[in-house]
Structure 1
Amino acid sequence: MNERSAATTDPATEAFLRHRNLLFTVAYEMLGSAADAEDALQETWLRWTKVDLDQVQDQRAYLVRITTRRALDRLRTMKRRKEDYVGPWLPEPLLTAPDVAEDAELAESVSMALMLVLETLAPTERAVFVLREVFGVGYDEIAAAVGKTPATVRQIAHRARRHVDARRPREAVSPGQVRAVVESFRRALETRDLQGLLDVLAPEVVLMSDGGGVKQAATHPVVGAGKVAHLIVGGLGRARIALTSEPTTVNGNPALLLRVDGELDGVIAVRVEDARITGLYYVRNPRKLTRITSETPLTLR
């Protein structure tokens, strides 16, 4: 469906386009995949065109409900795909506009760190958490979207919130602080400075790399500053490659684009706590790098 080519005088099309960025954000936060989020929106559009608009009191809420159901269906099938995935599965990074980074609530909700926490929730728990905690949807409306009673949704929301709070970053860090840490990491990375890496990495840092079986990547998370730093410096030394890095904004947060011999190699997103990096998320799978050259609009409203 190329909904943008449809007649703008059509009320269904106008309503869908008016809320499209919101619907994409809902689907992406539930799925962690831009490609699957787009497919969910395609299915939402097809369902929306069959709706009698005269019977719809709140078009935004109705569209969010349809999108949630479509995303839930996809989330359940994606679970099987992830089980067969080679190595760690990381969310698909998105190049985002400055307004996303300036919205602290939105930037945290789509950060790689929180998106990975959401991966640990069951599909319905994730849908309930995203709708309630991120988008502020009422319990009755969530219940209609996920096919549960409002009372059950309240219980699920409480359980999911407790689960996420136990795993999310301990404190909020300003974008400026994160940029400073990322810059220190960038300098150490480009100069193969082992001590520089050790200085910026937290003792318990975790490195996850996603090659999807297409690009070489560690098949398991690497834990500990010493192991991560030696892996980085040793790998670069053995490969004898020309590595350059470029600051960017991915999922509303500072990150690095890495190029090897001038060719795009991947994106590194970071999790920063107490002025040190506690998480490094390196996406190398080419299929997940299609959204880092043009900005993806995201919104909570």
Structure 2
Amino acid sequence: MTVAQAYERHRSMLFGLAYRMLGMATDAEDIVQDVFAQYMQSDRDGIANEKAYLAKMTANRCLNLLKSSRRKRETYIGEWLPEPLPDGERSADPAERRETVGYAYLVLLQKLTPLERAIYVLKETLGFEYADTADMLGRTETSCRKTFSRAKAKMGEGARAPQPDEAAESAKERFVEAFLRASDTGNFKPLLDFLLDDVILISDGGGKARAAIYPIVGIRRVMAFFEGISAKGSLKEGLECTRLNGDPGVAQRTDERVSKALCAEWEPDGSRIRRLYLVSNPDKLTRFN
């Protein structure tokens, strides 16, 4: 198989691996390009399992990048959220299970340590066996089993694969429509029916756009936040329905560029929203433009 054929076959899978590990699509894309640039120069005759070899290269590059950028994450202004993806850019690799596309799932993955994340994604999402994962990361099988078990416990119910549910999808679409109407009228009370009492709003401006530094907790405070920015005209124009990481969401265009993206994390039964994620850091919205 030529490098071009390998790229066509494995690029989507490798991008999915890197994106889930890093939470940044732009960095993931750079990693994949670097991997194939090195792969082109390598002696490929002795490679028995091309997919595992490329996944190993990708996972270790991600771990190195996360290690080098640790301080940058620690000094990040406000809350750090992953980069959302507009639909059409998500990985289409058939080996990946559906729950890995959701934004809330991606946020949860970022709560794991980099090593936990690598082992969890390689095993749970891409289906590699413990022996393969251990070889990729220079660990023992026993160590990988323990780390995977710890990661799965941390993921909790967020690790469950969502079942296709027309009612839940309809609720998500109704919320988006209600949010657009509320932003247009300034009346956000209809949103009360969609939110848990202890809903949390997390926003990410990265010091480059206005955003709440700390999470906003509770339905009244979240409503007050939206009412406040709406009163200042921040939500008056440019709002549109979109799809973010497979789910209905809201984007706002300012001067023909997306300046905000809003998506929701729902209860497992799809009844209410427990978290809202508002991304306004321009570095994380470039793929919408």
Q: Say whether residues 1:222 and 2:213 are aligned partners.
A: no
State the number of aligned residues.
282
Equivalent runs, 1:63-142 vs 2, <5 Å: 63-97=54-88, 106-142=97-133
TM-score scaled by length of structure 1: 0.85
- State the secondary structure of the residue aligned to 2:28: helix
- Pairwise CA RMSD of aligned residues? 2.5
Describe the shift of the 1:261–1:35 C-alpha distance in structure 2 as closer, same or farther (beyond 3 A). closer
Q: Which amino acid aligns with 1:125?
A: E
CA contact (8 A) 1:210 1:284 kept: yes
Distance in structure 2 (CA, Å) of the matches to 1:181 and 1:100:
26
> How far apart in 2 are the matches of 1:94 and 1:148?
32
The CA deviation at 1:262 is 6.8
CA contact (8 A) 1:106 1:252 kept: no
Task: Measure, in 2, the Cα distance between the counterparts of 1:143 and 1:20.
Answer: 22
Q: 1:43 to 1:100 in 2, by over 3 A?
A: closer
Following the alignment from structure 1 to structure 2, what is the Cα–Cα distance between the partners of residues 50 and 29?
A: 27
CA shift in 2, pair 1:159/1:240, >3 Å: closer
Matches within 5 A, 1:187-226: 187-226=181-220
Counterparts in 2 of 1:55-70, with a 5 A limit?
A: 55-70=46-61
Alignment pair present for 1:290 and 2:281: no
Percentage identity across aligned positions?
A: 36
Higher alpha-carbon deviation: 255-264 or 210-219: 255-264
User: Deviation at 1:15?
Assistant: 1.1
Match of 1:299 in 2: none
Aligned counterparts of 2:212 and 2:241: Cα–Cα separation in 1: 23
Segments of 5+ residues of structure 2 without an aligned counterpart are none
Gaps of 5+ in 1: 1-9, 294-301
- 1:169 to partner: Cα distance: 7.8
TM-score (norm 2): 0.89
Residue identity matched to 1:207:
L
Show the 5 A alignment for 1:1-301.
Answer: 11-97=2-88, 106-165=97-156, 174-239=168-233, 242-259=236-253, 264-273=258-267, 274-293=270-289
Deviations 1:18-68 (A, max 9, x none): 211111111001100012112211321233123322111121121111111
**SS of the residue aligned with 1:55?**
coil
